[in-house]
Amino acid sequence: MTSRTISNGILKAIGTILLVSGGVWFLYTIQSVLIYLVVSLILSLICNPVVEFLNKKCKFNNFWAVVTTLILLILLIFLFGLMFVPLISSQANSLSLLNTIAIEEKITLLYNQMSIYLIDHGIVLEEIVKNAEIASFMNLNFIPSFLNGLINTLSSIGIGIASVLFITFFFLKDKLSFKLGVRRIIPDSHEEEILTSIFKINNLLTRYFLGLLLQLFIVFVLYFIVLLIFDIENAFIIAFICAVLNIIPYVGPLIGSILAASLTMIGGIGGDFQTEILPKAIYVLIGFFVVQLIDNNVNQPLIFSNSTKSHPLEIFLVILIAGMISGIIGMINAVPVYTILKVIAKEFFPENKFIQLITRKI
């Protein structure tokens, strides 16, 4: 091996490293654009059945079908806001999110009540808190800074919404052009498999995201009913936040249940801890547990299994493995990614017995 060959190898390695680093930096720089593209793709998958309906049943041409669909989407969001924003606003104000001093006072009072209750049962909470250094988390002065950052972030939402709607419009309007473009790029030998995969992926993911929205809505309604039964303050906003957390499989419901119980205890300050605050928090936890039983054993098998054509145990194992590999992000993306891989595997490896087993319903 000559010195020239070694030099060329080193230069190629350095070039590859620089190219990969540049690509990573570029993707990081345009991460907002990538987020817009992903959101637009999801919206286009959700809206595509409406466009197809207007095309086939109402005889709209493609342009006006897309425009009408986006107008309906905007009106739906606007009407949703008119219906719920006043309620959310009033409940958020009553929750006193901006009054950090009042929150600290409530938490301190709750802590003292819990200490007295536990001391009566032979448990010294102060020692536990001291050893775990939990007291350092009691300072909520970070909230104003957090809200300022949130306001700065919200100031760019207008641009984000406009960008997403613009991209979604062309995803829906020019989907045939995109398909033709893909057809020109892909090799002729695999054209049929790739086009069939794209069609099936589009169909299954559309069903999946619609099913996800339906599941979150059902969970929200059940949470809301539980909180109303036990007369919990700010029931709507607590149920809404906990339902959104359900996007994170298995971990999200646990976080939501703890959050609901904590807010129930804080909202109950002023009553007796042993006879009022603690029992009500336990009842809320039991109610949320029942909701999760319904969701895990009824909603998810019916909605997700039918939408993605996968067995419930299959979905559970996929989410579990994805969580071990990539954490929460992996758990959120596990089902869509697995669905895509299943469709591709079925088209390209139809003779494989294992592939036949897991894709028999597709």
Rounded to an integer, what distance in angstroms lies between the CA atom of residue 168 and that of residue 214?
21
Contact 216, 246 (CB under 8 A): yes
* Gap between the Cα atoms of 299 and 277, Å rounded: 31
Task: Report the distance separating Cα 283 and Cα 279, nearest Å.
Answer: 6
* pTM for the whole structure: 0.62
- Cα 259 to Cα 43, 71, 165, 221, 240: the distances in Å are 30, 36, 34, 17, 12
pLDDT for 96 beyond 50: no
**Is pLDDT at 264 greater than 60 in this prediction?**
yes
Between 38 and 268, whose confidence is greater? Answer: 38
Q: Model confidence at 157, in pLDDT bands (50, 70, 90)?
A: low
pLDDT, the chain, mean: 75
DSSP output for 274-293 = IIIIHHHHHHHHHHHHHHHH
Higher pLDDT pick, 257 / 205: 257
pLDDT of 104 above 70: no
Which residues are paired to 269 by β-bridges?
Answer: 271
pLDDT at 98: 43
Tokens linked to 356: 């036949």
* Contact predicate 219/246, CB 8 Å: yes
Strands, DSSP E only, in the chain?
none
| Position 137 confidence tier, pLDDT thresholds 50, 70, 90 | very low
* pLDDT tens-digit series, residues 272-292: 666 777 788 889 999 999 998
pLDDT at 141 over 70: no
- Domain residue ranges in the chain: 189-362
d(CA 299, CA 329): 22
Top-confidence residue, 237 or 1: 237
Task: Look at residue 330 and tell me whether its pLDDT is greater than 80.
Answer: no
